Structure 1
Amino acid sequence: MKKTLALVLCILLVSAVFVSCGKKEAPATVETKTEAAPVATAAPAAPAPAAKPAASDFHVGVVTGTVSQSEDDLRGAERLIEEYGSVSTGGIIQHVTYPDNFMDEAETTISVISGLADDPKMKAIIVNQAIPGTTEAFRRVKERRPDIITIAGEAHEDPNVIQTSADLAVNNDFVARGYLIIRTAHELGCDTFVHISFPRHMSYETMSRRVAIMRATCEELGMKFVLETAPDPTSDVGVAGAQQYILEKVPAWIESYGKNAAFFCTNDAHTEPLLKQLLAYGGYFIEADLPSPLMGYPGALGIDLSAEAGNFSAILKKVEASVVAKGGAGRFGTWAYSYGYTSTAGLGQHAINVLKGESELLKLSDLMKAYGKYTAGAKWNGSFYTDVNTGVRARNHVLIYQDTYMMGKGYMGNADLVVPEKYFSIK
């Protein structure tokens, strides 16, 4: 009887222990699920938030063009290195550049991007501008390292292509801007709009669709629309040859189309010579393809902005003063903050925020928060890309734009305007 009683008591004691343990484990399970929630968004789990992530946590790869082709993009990478340090010195940013002649060196471009995945600490790769080959590079990255977040800034490849391998793609809003640039030119009294490009760029859906919208807007507003062709800087003539062509052609274009014509070019390398000649011969320039007070203006104006480096308020003030001094007030515009610079820095910051568990990769307000860090006081607008053929809205592709600033006049209020719905169906 005593043995039986002892056995019963023992069983009851063991049961109580298990019940007690079960009650203690339940809250821990709930907490684990809560902490793991960010992983479901494709972002790796992050340690406790800190002022700056330690190098031991993760690395972020940033790929840009060189100074000669896209200086602003590269300066954005330098800003990230300034804030977070480079991998070589114990920081988290690994910056590399793709070749200037990337169309003829596609495999090199792909290798530069995909090679970042060799770093076991690499957790995000941003390419700005995401030139042709980025999709294939991201595909190779994902094959080896599906944990790496891939982000394409200003994608050159068609939307339905880059969307297949980029976790997030961001472009300037070629739909809204196709309308807004023409509308601004019309408001300023322009009667002609001259679009300068070359076949490679016109093969991109983003640019060809924007041209169609620009043409349609000109027709509606009673303006003349002109297409001009210039050499591709990535061709045999190179950057120097392409720029020389613009220098030589602008005087004849002004003679043909008049001083009330607004000019627009799709390539960064063409911008400086275009601005230089328009300042000398007349004409309007609403904003660059990838707007910035640094895009072409320093060279065209012959001003040194080294003392103002990184301070866009000071940069804009100095550029504006020089434009006004040369008689360009109300004729030359930009975005107050560089799009290329902001995209590199902003997308890098967004990736860091996501990796730290502070933002969601595909949440528009979180993306704007990262961009806003570098553009205090400037207004942005944007939306998710919608396919013009199917009407399907992409979940991982965002179009954005900043308000236009005309030198000697101020902001044009474009970020607050509603673009007529009919322009979103033009292709």
Structure 2
Amino acid sequence: MKKLLVCSFLLGCCSLNVFAEDYHIGVVSGTVSQSEDSLRGAEAVAAKYGSAANGGKVVHITYPDNFMQEMETTISQITALADDPKMKAIIMTEAIPGTVEAYRRVKDKRPDIILLANTAHEDPEMIADVTDLALYPDSIARGYLIVKAAKEMGAKNFVHISFPRHLSYEMLSRRRNVMKEAAKDLGMGFYEVSAPDPVSDVGVAGAQQYILEQVPNWLKQYGKDTAFFCTNDAHTEPLLKRVAEEGGYFVEADLPSPTMGYPGALGIKFTNDERGNWPKILKKVEDVVVKKGASGRMGTWAYSYNFACALAMADHAVNVIDGKTDILDFDAVMETLKANTPGAGWNGSYLVDSDGIERENYILIYQDTYVFGKGYMGMTQLEVPEKYFDVK
């Protein structure tokens, strides 16, 4: 069984117990068009600790929308943060491709800077080799728990929607394999379907149109008691729209959030005082879901994963720099997550690499599933059978 662990081991390459008041933290995020929750999380960090331009701690930069084609620009942007003599930590709110090389360059220039990475797109072991702390949604545990939740919600079949680029990512591929195994063990049908990659020639619009057209066909083929999961954010909105209208189940998104797909799918708009207020956002989305007759069929995490992790990583970095905790104190990391998500449960474990070694600086985490019209499902309290952590 994977349990919460405590670790106070320090990375030898960094002098982390540095007491300093006048220092900077670099926060790197996507733009509103690429990753709104990451951007809003970075903005919340800047609001909490102040912008360095105005005497505060935070230097916030955004990477290019077309980051795959502009990787060298991204790498240069991140590396340039190390030129700031006051820089003590750098946080990638979503560690897109290029993070590994950028962090290597930062370590070469400034080994004293603490490097933190969330939701890394690159190989987990490569990220673990260059970061002081990495957080990632626990794809392995969630592979079981999402299917388990789907069954508890009433689903008899499970459809996994993805494309080759995403399935080339180790963690996404392993999660798919765990889902398949879990569905078999739970007596559910498991089906894989392919959808266009939004970064291919069809673009986001073409990929979304495909989902809109296909979900009714899939429901006819597999039945209304089918749960759907997609690996891509752009696919999420049209999938939610059709599930709300046509039937089926949706447990949670790849990176769950009440704002992931739901506003666009259901025509929900938020006022300025609601933005960043996750209990208000959750209530507003829930009211619309219930009104549309989808109560008990659609879920999420009550707090945005990327938003919460941006704040939690910033809080943890500040605590480490101020000498209040160690970078690898597992309990301290979990406490910062809980402090930024009142009412939501969290669980997690260390990454076990291909050699069977626990990487104590790479933590796999997950939040409890919230089903609209029903509430929290208590998934963080369930024991994930050990066998699923061995599925490759």
Give, as a single letter, the amino acid of the residue that structure 2 aligns with 1:43: L
Could you say which residue in structure 2 is the equivalent of 1:46? 19
Name whichever of 146-155 and 242-251 sits farther off: 242-251
Structure 2 residue corresponding to 1:114, chosen from 71, 79, 99: 79
Q: CA contact under 8 A between 2:11 and 2:132: conserved in structure 1?
A: no
CA distance in 2, matches of 1:231, 1:111: 31
Q: Map of 1:381-400 to 2, 5 A cutoff?
A: 381-387=347-353, 389-400=354-365
The answer as to 2:265 corresponding to 1:292 is: no
Structure 1 residue corresponding to 2:190, chosen from 225, 229, 246: 225
Q: CA contact under 8 A between 1:41 and 1:360: conserved in structure 2?
A: no
Number of aligned pairs? 382
Give, as a single letter, the amino acid of the residue that structure 2 aligns with 1:336: A
Q: CA contact under 8 A between 1:101 and 1:234: conserved in structure 2?
A: no
**Which of these two proteins has the greater Rg computed from alpha carbons?**
1
Structure 1 residue corresponding to 2:232, chosen from 264, 267, 272: 267
For structure 2, list consecutive stretches of 5 or more residues without a partner in the other structure: 1-9
Give, as a single letter, the amino acid of the residue that structure 1 aligns with 2:278: F
Q: Map of 1:137-156 to 2, 5 A cutoff?
A: 137-156=102-121
The offset of 1:270, in angstroms, is 1.5
Could you say which residue in structure 1 is the equivalent of 2:222? 257
The offset of 1:91, in angstroms, is 1.4
CA distance in 2, matches of 1:415, 1:38: 29
Q: CA contact under 8 A between 1:38 and 1:357: conserved in structure 2?
A: no
Structure 1 residue corresponding to 2:376, chosen from 406, 411, 425: 411
CA distance in 2, matches of 1:128, 1:240: 26
Q: Which has the higher contact order (CA 8 A, sep 6+)?
A: 2
The answer as to 2:34 corresponding to 1:69 is: yes
Deviation string, structure 1 residues 247-280 (Cα, Å, up to 9, x no partner): 2222222222221111111111211111111111
The answer as to 2:269 corresponding to 1:318 is: no
The offset of 1:330, in angstroms, is 0.3
- SS of the aligned residue for 2:237 comes to helix
Deviation string, structure 1 residues 7-27 (Cα, Å, up to 9, x no partner): xxxxxxxxxxxxxxxxxxxxx
Could you say which residue in structure 1 is the equivalent of 2:390? 425
The answer as to 2:133 corresponding to 1:160 is: no
Give, as a single letter, the amino acid of the residue that structure 1 aligns with 2:32: V
The offset of 1:38, in angstroms, is 11
CA distance in 2, matches of 1:41, 1:109: 24
The answer as to 2:355 corresponding to 1:366 is: no
Q: CA contact under 8 A between 2:94 and 2:120: conserved in structure 1?
A: yes
Classify 1:39/1:139 alpha carbon distance in 2 versus 1 (closer, same or farther; 3 Å): closer
- SS of the aligned residue for 2:328 comes to coil
Could you say which residue in structure 2 is the equivalent of 1:133? 98
- SS of the aligned residue for 2:313 comes to helix
Q: Map of 1:168-207 to 2, 5 A cutoff?
A: 168-207=133-172
- SS of the aligned residue for 1:275 comes to helix
CA distance in 2, matches of 1:360, 1:143: 22
Deviation string, structure 1 residues 270-327 (Cα, Å, up to 9, x no partner): 1111111111111110001111111111111111122311211111111101100000
Q: CA contact under 8 A between 1:279 and 1:326: conserved in structure 2?
A: yes
Name whichever of 112-121 and 329-338 sits farther off: 112-121
Could you say which residue in structure 1 is the equivalent of 2:243? 278
Q: Map of 1:29-40 to 2, 5 A cutoff?
A: none
CA distance in 2, matches of 1:252, 1:345: 41
Could you say which residue in structure 1 is the equivalent of 2:274? 308
For structure 1, list consecutive stretches of 5 or more residues without a partner in the other structure: 1-36, 48-52
The offset of 1:239, in angstroms, is 2.4
- SS of the aligned residue for 1:164 comes to helix
CA distance in 2, matches of 1:243, 1:354: 43
Could you say which residue in structure 2 is the equivalent of 1:340? 306
Q: CA contact under 8 A between 1:39 and 1:45: conserved in structure 2?
A: no
Could you say which residue in structure 1 is the equivalent of 2:7? none
Could you say which residue in structure 2 is the equivalent of 1:83? 48
Give, as a single letter, the amino acid of the residue that structure 2 aligns with 1:140: R
The offset of 1:332, in angstroms, is 0.4
